[in-house]
Structure 1
């Protein structure tokens, strides 16, 4: 099931540069939906992930600590 994206304000990381190889996130729908939406910036019309705020914060903390670097 695709989450309702009505009114979603998508944003990319400022570190993404001019490329389109990153994800976009919409957090402005937290109040009505209780979810953070994430999509692929290269294919914005494809699947959207719906993530709980707690899981999103855990991901951001892990990424900030370098857990996902190669």
Structure 2
């Protein structure tokens, strides 16, 4: 199964061929042993497709609290 990931902050990840992974989002097979190990160790972070990229969660919570008053 293919999932969208990005390299965790402060980490450098190389693919099985030794090439540096891109800085942005890319797809990997989470069932592949190599990529599964990168996900488990925290070198790669899953990208949630449902969450907007630039909206921090705290700002949304603050807006909802302000609206309820």
**TM-score, reference length from structure 2:** 0.23
Highest RCO, 1 vs 2 (Cα 8 Å, sep ≥ 6): 2
